[in-house]
Structure 1
Amino acid sequence: MTTTTSLDGLVRRAADRLAAKRRGAVAVGAILGEETAMHGADPGTLFEIGSISKTFTSLALARLAVRGEAALDQPLRDLLPEGTAVPRRDGGEIELVHLACHTSGLPKLPRGLLPRGLFSSDPYAGCTPGMLLEGLGRTRLRSAPGRRFRYSNLGAGLLGLALARRAGGGTGSGADYDELVQAEICRPLGMADTRVALDPERTARLAPGHSRLGRPRPRWNLAALAGAGGLHSTVPDLLRLARTQFGDAPDGLAEAVALTHATGHRITGGATVRPGWIELRQPPGRGEHRTLFHNGGTGGYRSLLAVSPERRAAVVVLSADARSPDRVGMDLLTELAAR
């Protein structure tokens, strides 16, 4: 099939569209088959990726499950300190897969974060393991575990904390979660710039964040909620992660990716939440295929990772500006998936 615009041209056009309306840096990358293209900020530029971190947290769960070190249906209480009170509802208890698929019934934010953190420039910095676990026992579930999709940063953060404790025996702090992600995902894939904590060299490569109005915004510290949104990354690193969704992954990781694709909870007729992803199914009239995506946002950053596994197409958009790049990124993936 002949095409009028190359992959490189499409990615350049998307980056130019975004950069024209933002004060902060923008970086766009895409894959189509064996081709890769990147435009915008230097490929070594780091960004806060916000909730795309949840994709890493869920993949780490799948890695431990494949090795038999955890199970998707394992109760959360098994991985928390002895005596931690975990809420139940209608006789059901929270399992790890409920946290990964946002069906735990937990509220979006930890108990005690609001209103104190609502107007803070760094709203999650005080979320220590002790604060989260103490508040968990006083939290009321909004629905029975496993019954209803309800997006929860608290749930994803607790999953990261619990898995970090299981894998490393620590407290579940941001540093423990960082090491979990390095061991299970980043080192096997050669993703050297994806991490929670940044050393001085990587800090110098971090694009400064901006508000929607273009004003400078400080970095966020997700503390013990790092599994919900604490990672930094680059376009090249996230494209490496995207390729794993095509089945291109080392042994162990490929099995874990397949497990996340096979596990899910239906939201609507065309949408399913899977561990780390929202899956949209395109109807037969539009060339039936799946789109897996997750976006992210912190005080001064927005991000998008979207993949069409059957088309071997993927898009990464990172922006040091609080305005959403989702429309541009999803339009680019739609164009690539149609080729």
Structure 2
Amino acid sequence: MAQELATLAQKTADRLAEQRVGAVVAALAEDTVEIRGSGRTGADHGGAPGPDTLFEIGSVTKPFTALALARLASGGTVGLDEPLGDLLPDGTTVPSRDGSRITLRHLATHTSGLPRLPRGMLLQALLRPTKPDPYADCTAEALLSGLARTRLGAAPGKRFRYSNLGAGLLGLALARRAGTDYEALITREICAPLGMTDTLVTVDGARAERSAQGHSARRRPVEPWDLADLAGAGALRSTATDLVAFVRAQIDGGPEGLSEAIRLSRSVEHRTSRFAWVHLGWMAHRLHPRQGGHLQIWHNGGTGGFSSFVGFDPEKRVAVIALGNTQRPVDRPAFDLLRTLQKEHG
């Protein structure tokens, strides 16, 4: 099985590297995992990317933020249905609609009614299209000030509407309740229990030398993103090795203390169609019976210079992680590999 997995992972990494500067792919089936890289890291210290190369993972950060919510909720620190306003500074105005208030559950399932981006950000992007990090000005003060002037597109809980703003506010609110910052919260609640030492917001020292350089879709080097206080929406950096540990916990249940949170995160469902739904932090769908009827739970991500994908099937115990250091989605080859693993381990 190991040789077969290694071959599939390498073929997918090579396929991704054809149109990207570099890529790393991890393929997991039951207790076997193979990680392969292709192309270049693009950094001065160069070489091919591998299991311990750090990438910006963009919105793959959101399952971490949602799992932190489940962890704090299972421990009684917060409630899933606690209003967002209860975790923010006194005097903060949080929009509501039709008498419904935004809760933490709504933020983690993209059903808050909030827009995709913070108020005024789209205009800023149009006025300054070459700005290296469009989220750099998303300080807590700016986010909460804009929130007070934001109108909801639907009553909370009614409709799925993907929102970076909502996920970022969730991370900000959870860190505030926990009395720490977002990075320390994720380290304490998720990374430390799983032995993940390379999943973080701020990269320095030796890790900087293991970091890939981000590139635009035209393969030109770009500046990194940090997302300021919207970190919960997409600020994490990670490696294929760490993400394997994260997804293995999703499949196997994780260590004591985290397992309850994982169960809670997946017990929450908001249907978006007959075949698709969202959990806390994860997208999910079941393929049509003609495609095998397999379950796929996943999230993708993208920043100015990186793209990412994590997908798994807890029923077949298979998973795929794909990381690229180019602003070009890795989803299609990653989904293709996931379907291949599902067929072969059905």
* TM-score category of the 2 structures, normalised to the smaller one: over 0.9
Q: For residue 204 of structure 1, what is the aligned residue in structure 2?
A: 209
d(CA) in 2 for partners of 1:334, 1:151: 25
Structure-2-length-normalised TM-score: 0.93
Shift of 1:273: 1.0
User: CA contact under 8 A between 1:89 and 1:143: conserved in structure 2?
Assistant: yes
Q: Residue 252 of structure 2: SS of its match in structure 1? A: coil
2: distance between equivalents of 1:289 and 1:6? Answer: 21
Cα distance in structure 2, aligned partners of 1:134 and 1:22: 39
Alpha-carbon distance in 2 for matches of 1:251, 1:78: 29
Amino acid at match of 2:116: K
One-letter amino acid matched to 2:18: A
Aligned residue number for residue 42 of structure 2: none
Q: Which of these residues, 157, 160, 182, is aligned with residue 149 of structure 1?
A: 160
Aligned to 1:247: 252
Aligned ranges for residues 65-104 of structure 1 at < 5 Å?
65-104=73-112
* 2:172 pairs with 1:161: yes
Report the Cα distance in structure 2 between the residues aligned to 1:262 and 1:283, rounded to whole angstroms: 22
Counterpart of 1:173? none
Once the two structures are TM-superposed, the CA of residue 286 in structure 1 deviates from its matched residue by 4.2
- For residues 116 and 89 of structure 1, the distance between their equivalents in structure 2, rounded to whole angstroms, comes to 27
Give the letter for the 1:246 counterpart: I
The question of whether the paired residues in 2 share the 8 Å contact of 1:160 and 1:226 is answered with yes
The aligned runs of 1:1-339 (5 Å cut-off) are: 6-23=4-21, 25-40=22-37, 41-118=49-126, 119=129, 120-168=131-179, 170=180, 176-339=181-344
Partners of 2:14 and 2:288 lie apart in 1 by 31
| Residues 207-236 of structure 1: per-residue CA shift (max 9 Å, x gap) | 001111111111012000000000000001
1:94-145 CA deviation, whole Å, 9 max, x = no partner?
0000000000000011112232234121100111101101111110001000
Letter in 2 for 1:128: T
Q: Secondary structure at the match of 1:193?
A: coil
The letter for the 2-side match of 1:237 is D
> Helix, strand or coil for the counterpart of 1:216?
coil
Instruction: Tell me if structure 1 keeps the 8 A contact 2:24–2:51.
Output: yes
SS in 1 for 2:121: coil
Residue 260 (structure 1) shift: 1.1
CA distance in 2, matches of 1:124, 1:322: 16
SS in 2 for 1:39: strand
Alpha-carbon distance in 2 for matches of 1:32, 1:86: 44
> Distance between the aligned counterparts of 2:253 and 2:107, measured in 1?
26
Q: Report the count of equivalent residues.
A: 330
Could you tell me which residue of structure 1 aligns to residue 40 of structure 2? none
Quick one: distance in 2 between partners of 1:285 and 1:330? 16
- SS of the aligned residue for 2:153 comes to coil
Q: TM-score, normalised by structure 1?
A: 0.95
Letter in 1 for 2:202: A
For residues 217 and 155 of structure 1, what CA distance do their matches in structure 2 show? 26
AA at the equivalent of 1:30: A
Distance 1:31 1:39 in 2: 12
Q: In 1, are the aligned partners of 2:253 and 2:263 still within 8 Å (CA)?
A: no
> Percent identity of the aligned residues?
53
Q: Residue 36 of structure 2 aligns to which amino acid in structure 1?
A: H
One-letter code of the match for 2:175? A
Is the 8 Å Cα contact of residues 117 and 124 (structure 1) preserved in structure 2? no
Distance in 2 (alpha carbons) for counterparts of 1:290 and 1:244: 17
**Residue segments in structure 1 that go unaligned for 5+ positions in a row:** 171-175
Residue 333 of structure 2 aligns to a residue in which SS? helix
Q: Which runs of 5+ in 2 are unaligned?
A: 38-48
Partner Cα distance (1:131, 1:294) in 2: 27
- After superposing the two structures, state which structure 1 stretch, 110-119 or 290-299, moved more: 110-119
- SS of structure 2 residue aligned to 1:86: coil
Does structure 2 conserve the Cα–Cα contact (< 8 Å) formed by 1:281 and 1:288? Answer: yes
